[in-house]
């Protein structure tokens, strides 16, 4: 494990679930559309389609595809499965962009503002650049830089993404810390020599499916929020 007395220079953040609340944002918007489906079920089903869709790209079954387009493919299946045939093209396009409008967790914008005073803060998300830029503008997330699978043409946990952050900023891998609410993402980063900070997001999948957010020894830092992380890092 890197020397904890030597601070990282760059903090790279997972976004969906770590910085923004995809579950609550989608469930609320779908409920408000009064489509006759459960926002809770719709949000969970949409997100559940995400890993299998990325695997189709990584297996070479699909060419390189932006997450906006993967979300739209999954949405097409969901609209059939949930029996929502009457949504027109403009409505589908608008609903698909709900991922650009995800709300931040309450601590995200103030936590990032504090962390930005001492570190280069960037996204490292499988979301595409336009999605992440729209989200940042809408949610007031003060990124120094938006990095995405789109820049590296590879999804996490491909090493090209984690090592790509170090390469972009011309620093050693141990000078980059990945901040995420997902242990598999953090494990991928550590395997490339990056440092890891776990953020508790017990309600990522809603109150009906609470996550186990207990500390694991392999993560260098563990914090209940981005404000708590800022305090741990002396910001």
Residues that bind its own copies (CB under 8 A): 68, 120, 122, 128-130, 132-134, 136-137, 144-147, 150-151, 168-170
CA 180 to centroid of chain Cα atoms: 8
Of the pair 123, 219, the CB lying nearest its own copies is at: 123
Q: Quote the least distance from Cβ 21 to its own copies, whole Å.
A: 21
Q: Quote the least distance from Cβ 97 to its own copies, whole Å.
A: 9
Of the pair 74, 141, the CB lying nearest its own copies is at: 141
Q: Quote the least distance from Cβ 95 to its own copies, whole Å.
A: 15
Of the pair 98, 223, the CB lying nearest its own copies is at: 98
Q: Quote the least distance from Cβ 138 to its own copies, whole Å.
A: 10
Q: Quote the least distance from Cβ 147 to its own copies, whole Å.
A: 8
Of the pair 130, 157, the CB lying nearest its own copies is at: 130
Task: State the number of CA atoms in the 13 A half-sphere of 45 facing the CB.
Answer: 17
Of the pair 133, 228, the CB lying nearest its own copies is at: 133
């Amino acid at each position: 494990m890197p020397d904890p007395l030597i601070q990282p220079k760059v903090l790279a953040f997972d976004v969906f679930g770590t910085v923004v609340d995809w579950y609550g944002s989608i469930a609320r918007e779908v409920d408000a559309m009064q489509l006759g489906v459960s926002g809770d079920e719709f949000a969970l089903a949409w997100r559940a389609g995400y890993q299998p869709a990325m695997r189709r790209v990584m297996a070479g079954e699909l060419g390189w595809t932006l997450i906006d387009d993967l979300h739209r493919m999954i949405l097409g299946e969901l609209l059939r499965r949930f029996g929502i045939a009457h949504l027109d093209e403009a409505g589908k396009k608008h609903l698909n962009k709900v991922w650009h409008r995800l709300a931040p967790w309450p601590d995200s914008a103030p936590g990032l503002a504090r962390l930005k005073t001492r570190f280069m803060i960037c996204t490292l998300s499988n979301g595409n650049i336009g999605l992440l830029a729209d989200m940042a503008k809408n949610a007031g997330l003060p990124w120094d830089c938006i990095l995405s699978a789109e820049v590296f043409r590879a999804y996490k946990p491909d090493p090209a993404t984690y090592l790509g952050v170090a390469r972009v900023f011309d620093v050693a891998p141990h000078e980059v810390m990945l901040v995420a609410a997902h242990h598999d993402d953090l494990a991928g980063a550590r395997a490339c020599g990056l440092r890891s900070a776990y953020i508790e997001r017990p309600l990522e999948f809603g109150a009906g499916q609470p996550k186990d957010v207990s500390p694991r020894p392999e993560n260098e830092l563990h914090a209940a929020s981005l404000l708590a992380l800022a305090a741990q890092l002396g910001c």
